[in-house]
Structure 1
Amino acid sequence: MRINQASIQASETERRRLRVAIAHVRLGWGGSEKRVLWGIQALKNHHEVTLITAGSYDLEALNQYYGMELKPEDFKSIQAPLPFFMRNNGRMAALRGALFQRFCRKIAGDYDVLISGYGPTDFGRPAIHFIADFSWDQELREALHPYPPGMIYNNQWIRAIYLGMAKHLSKPSGRDLFSGEDLMLSVSPWVARKMKSRHGVESPVLPSPVPGDFPLVPWEKKQPGFVCLGRLAPEKRIEDIIEILSGVRAKGHDIHLHIVGDGDNPAYLASLQQLVVEHQDWVCMEGRLQGDEKNALLTQHAFGIHACRGDAFPGVLIEMMKAGCVVWAHNSGGQPDILQMPMLLYKDNKEAAEKIDRMLRNANQLKQTQERLLNLSEKYFVEHYMRDICSIVEEWKSA
């Protein structure tokens, strides 16, 4: 009997093809979405991939924003049946997350590998979880990002009732996600250290992908201005950036600031817009930019700044580094892991202004720092992430 080797190989390939589900409750314009979408990009040629989410999304817009070329036929998509008022807004996150996890548990048995794109998710069975922040760890979240004064979340009694309702609706499986059966992937060494100290879990580091291919503009041709990128929200402390750079200007530096991004917190946006009006001679709000428009703004400017405290993995820092910007950030969270230079890290606004002033007076140091940051940014190429996530999925299933 003649054995058809081609058929055997095809059969073996088919057996290795896994049914992989990647869950993310709400696709928007942040770092967690990059992990999910580039994960699909990496896995789609080797496995049958399904995206589980709770709201609608515009794949064409996401492709343009994240620099990808995903097609609808590249993956399956399942939308959790949530109430319409929860699907596409940023409020009621705990209730939406509870119902979403309940739905994920219902269909988890249909897949070989389950991946949570945003924090620990109770699938009712072992899974892979990306840990990118501690929004799910109430004590740590409130320590890092306290709610602004006057918000209803500051009422502990109301907050307890709300979270209790969410937990009841979730109907948790009772599994201990930190028992060692699940794989927790930290986006930075800082997150991995917190996972170990707070939850006793070893959590390998898989940095998020940071897309972007920037032409290198000679340092001498860059504008002496700053850019800040990302979602406009209270924890991003854009007002701190304006205060810091006001201090730098007071020291004699003719710098300006471009604020790039948007947000869904009307009260914060209104207060920020008023602040921009007060400094309109040197501060400009650009809104959300993407593609060539964003790349041009980044490459044309010499400096970047990020004021969020306890940010686990600020991909915006790495984008600016790739574009040839010298960047400063608060000395907390995953930011020291990325920048690795004390002169670029600050503990408060006064120190930030002093450190920026000191470096702006040293042209040679600026150029040397730019070159070092360009080298540091190379470890965050999307190709590295795609290779690693494929290896992790295959090793996880075979373990």
Structure 2
Amino acid sequence: MAQVAVVHNTLDFQGGADAVCLATCEALSSDHEVTLFTLSETDLAVLADRFDADVDGIAVRTPPANGSIAKTLGRLAPWIGPQLAVRSVLVARYFRQHADAFDLAVSTANEFSFPGPSVQYVHYPQFHLYDLEDGDPGRLNPLWSRIAAPDRPDLQRATLLANSAWTAEVVAELYGVRPAVVAPPVDPIEEGLDWDDRQQGIVVVGRIAPDKRVLDAISLIDRLRDRGHDVHLHVVGSTPRSYRQYADRVAAAVDQRSYVDLERDVSRDRLETLLRTHRYGLNLKPDEHFGMSVAEYVSAGMIAFAPDGGGQRDILDGRPDRLFDSLAAAVDRIDTAITTDDRPSLRRDRFTRDQFKAAISTYVNQTLE
């Protein structure tokens, strides 16, 4: 049994990266002593309930003044821009003070320079984003990169993983090291209604944040109704402090429409109920690094639609009738699916939690050996 530190920059955004973190903690805790290092307002137990994860017995360590720092970063997000990198800098510095007590570090939130052996799971690089054509660095990313970014030898020594083939190519472009691909955990959602019994509605799941383009989803439902389709929309997601201003704009738009519902911070049971009972799932973020919500739509027996780029292309098998390159094209794809009464056909069990946990355990044990 080894002492394993799981390093995760924040649980506050409550998205796919956090599902990976919890599943990793769950996978490793049966064979090792696991301690989670993070900078978060969000309580681990609260998030575990949302992602249906068993993380009892996982110790959580946070930097001094954790709550105040997390709240301040959340409030400053509209002015300082993307903040995963700065949270990583702070968490990594805190972890280094305790690194000697651990046999292995496991990052579940992108690349780090660790003092010892490590397994690092990259959702998308967090440093040197100004070198990437599609990166969103923010003004301060060059500073965080100078302070804490790993170099190529750091990552050559690490066991490097990525959430999709697309992300692996981005990492290889940036660092010259190509990770192995381990898809995030997405179990099939069982007991869904038969297709004819499902509501002719669209569900959008994810952070209520600008990069998710939730306001575009509201525009999309307006256009579909203008074409004569009696469809409605459920927007379901978390509202991290960083995105409260945008979430207020979304709420204002929802209040003007009887056919759009906004549900924040719902339980896992409520989320799965929506996915079991509706026909269509929609993602609007271009170049999604993997697309947890897209995979969940498929796993629930829905027809999923997503932008034609990023890891979500793999989830949807590159199908042109499910992928789009503009909002107008998204409207056309869904219009066609409704008009022709198209049915789902993709496998629902491609990215199970058991597969993810087995892969993570294998890479961790190989690295420890």
TM-score by length of 2: 0.89
Whether the 8 Å contact between 1:124 and 1:175 is mirrored in structure 2 is: no
Percent identity for Structure 1 against Structure 2:
25
- Distance change >3 Å, CA 237–CA 393, structure 1 → 2: same
Q: How far did residue 262 of structure 1 move? A: 2.6
Q: Which runs of 5+ in 1 are unaligned?
A: 1-16, 147-152, 154-158
Q: How far did residue 117 of structure 1 move? A: 1.1
Letter in 1 for 2:115: G
1:202 to 2:181 alignment:
no
Q: How far did residue 69 of structure 1 move? A: 2.7
Letter in 2 for 1:380: F
1:34 to 2:19 alignment:
yes
Distance 2:226 2:11 in 1: 41
1:115 to 2:98 alignment:
no
| SS, match of residue 130 in structure 1 | strand
Whether the 8 Å contact between 1:144 and 1:309 is mirrored in structure 2 is: no
| SS, match of residue 33 in structure 1 | helix
- Partner residue, 1:379: 350
In the comparison of the two structures, how many residue pairs are matched?
357
- Distance change >3 Å, CA 83–CA 138, structure 1 → 2: same
Whether the 8 Å contact between 1:67 and 1:212 is mirrored in structure 2 is: no
Runs of 4+ in 1 over 6 A off after TM superposition: none
Q: Whose radius of gyration is greater, 1 or 2? A: 1
- Partner residue, 1:271: 249
- Distance change >3 Å, CA 180–CA 27, structure 1 → 2: same
1:191 to 2:167 alignment:
yes
- Partner residue, 1:252: 228
TM-score by length of 1: 0.83
- Partner residue, 1:25: 9
**Worse-matched range after superposition: 118-127 or 339-348:** 118-127
- Partner residue, 1:80: 63
- Distance change >3 Å, CA 258–CA 173, structure 1 → 2: closer
- Partner residue, 1:156: none
Letter in 2 for 1:381: T
- Distance change >3 Å, CA 234–CA 135, structure 1 → 2: farther
Question: Which of 330, 336, 350 does residue 358 from structure 1 map onto?
Answer: 336
Distance 2:53 2:187 in 1: 9
Whether the 8 Å contact between 2:19 and 2:51 is mirrored in structure 1 is: yes
1:329 to 2:320 alignment:
no
Distance 1:53 1:385 in 2: 22
Structure-to-structure mapping, 1:165-314, within 5 angstroms: 166=144, 170=147, 172=148, 176=152, 179-211=155-187, 213-263=189-239, 264=241, 265-278=243-256, 280-314=257-291
Distance 1:235 1:38 in 2: 25
Letter in 2 for 1:328: F
| SS, match of residue 379 in structure 1 | coil
- Partner residue, 1:6: none
The one-character-per-residue Cα deviations of 1:295-318 (angstroms, maximum 9, x if unpaired) are 111111111100001110111111
Q: Which runs of 5+ in 2 are unaligned?
A: none
- Distance change >3 Å, CA 202–CA 173, structure 1 → 2: closer
Distance 1:27 1:106 in 2: 21
**Worse-matched range after superposition: 331-340 or 78-87:** 78-87
Q: How far did residue 174 of structure 1 move? A: 7.2
1:46 to 2:31 alignment:
yes
Distance 1:301 1:87 in 2: 36
| SS, match of residue 343 in structure 1 | coil
The root-mean-square deviation of aligned C-alpha atoms, in Å, is 2.3
1:338 to 2:323 alignment:
no
Q: How far did residue 362 of structure 1 move? A: 1.3
Distance 2:273 2:149 in 1: 49
Letter in 1 for 2:226: A
- Partner residue, 2:51: 66
Q: How far did residue 266 of structure 1 move? A: 2.3
Whether the 8 Å contact between 2:200 and 2:279 is mirrored in structure 1 is: yes
Letter in 2 for 1:52: F
Q: How far did residue 19 of structure 1 move? A: 1.4
Distance 1:198 1:315 in 2: 24
